[in-house]
Amino acid sequence: MPLTWEQFYAENPPPSDLEQTRHKVENFCRKHLDHGSRIVLITSGGTTVPLEHHTVRFVDNFSAGTRGSASAEYFLEIGYSVIFLYRLKSIEPYLRHVAGAKFLDMLEVDESSENPTISVKSSEVQQILPVLRKYKAAQESQKFLQVGFTTLSDYLWLLKTTCEFLPSFGSRAMLYLAAAVSDFYVPATQMPTHKIQSQDGAPTIQLDLVPKVLQPLVSLWVPDAFVISFKLETDENILIKKARGALSKYKHKIVLANLMDTRRSRVVAVTPDDQTEIILTEEQTQQGLEIEKCIVDYLKEEHTKFIVGSTSQ
């Protein structure tokens, strides 16, 4: 039998710096609660599942973190406070625009004075300047908090901890659960201590199901919040059915359903009674638009309706 979520938290220890992070999140939330703004918790990137206690090998989920990091920028632009819970080394907001470029190639040294200076080459300034300005603006607004994780277990702990501080926002809190969380893991009790040896023959890895924390999250941790989950599949035939299955099981508000191959240009927002296609045309893509802007604009409208509906009840 797979563990319940309560058993999972009982058997898997929290990250060592959990208390520090709790403190940071609490301060951040308290500050923005006073200002009455909306808040969104974005999760982003994949999770790793160690196969050994001394981790040499692990099972990873594909996710560069593009969806989450792009969305964070658009949520900040329209005034949300953003907690960005992201897999370390996955793509980060703003930084993503310069991540492909080689940092050192962009720089040049001016040795002409006694104290050498280093500048960004003039040919690169045009590209970096708008990114840098937006980044500095986000920093100055203090509306942006990044919290990093690596393993599945750390992710689940940080998600639960962050959720402690969202109920005071009521319906003004949104959860945008874009991280690709592993469905499977190797329970600590079944994990070998040392590296699996290849002379023992090819190993079989027996994985266990990860408990679905979306269930306690929606019903217990943040019952008044506007919760969005994602469904990424490779098979079109099961996509919408699976999205609706998740909604009926977990009772949250929207599943953003997408296919691996077309996820940059098409997302279907599935609600219990309806579905809305969010499409980026070829032309829009060529103009440099991103589908995350369309997603965030759509969600802002839906969130407004949700807040109004919650208040009038």
The residues of the shown chain that bind its own copies, judged by CB under 8 A, are 2, 48, 51-52, 54-62, 89, 94-95, 98, 102-104, 107, 109, 115-120, 122, 125, 128-129, 131-133, 135-136, 180, 182-184, 193-195, 198, 201-209, 232-235, 260-261
Between 118 and 248, name the residue whose CB sits nearer to its own copies: 118
Write down the least CB distance from residue 53 to its own copies, Å: 8
Residue 292, classed as helix, strand or coil, is: helix
Between 203 and 309, name the residue whose CB sits nearer to its own copies: 203
- Contact predicate 294/305, CB 8 Å: no
Write down the least CB distance from residue 55 to its own copies, Å: 6
Between 131 and 240, name the residue whose CB sits nearer to its own copies: 131
Write down the least CB distance from residue 309 to its own copies, Å: 32
Helix (H) or strand (E) holding 230: strand 226-233
Could you tell me which of 39, 34, 43, 142 has the C-alpha nearest to residue 82?
39
Could you tell me which of 128, 73, 126, 75 has the C-alpha nearest to residue 99?
128
Write down the least CB distance from residue 98 to its own copies, Å: 6
Write down the least CB distance from residue 297 to its own copies, Å: 25
Between 30 and 195, name the residue whose CB sits nearer to its own copies: 195
Could you tell me which of 133, 109, 129, 111 has the C-alpha nearest to residue 119?
109
Spatial CB neighbours of 145, under 8 Å, sequence gap ≥ 6: 24, 25, 28, 81, 82, 83, 84
Between 32 and 97, name the residue whose CB sits nearer to its own copies: 97
Residue 281, classed as helix, strand or coil, is: coil
Question: For residue 257, what are the β-bridge partners?
Answer: 231, 268
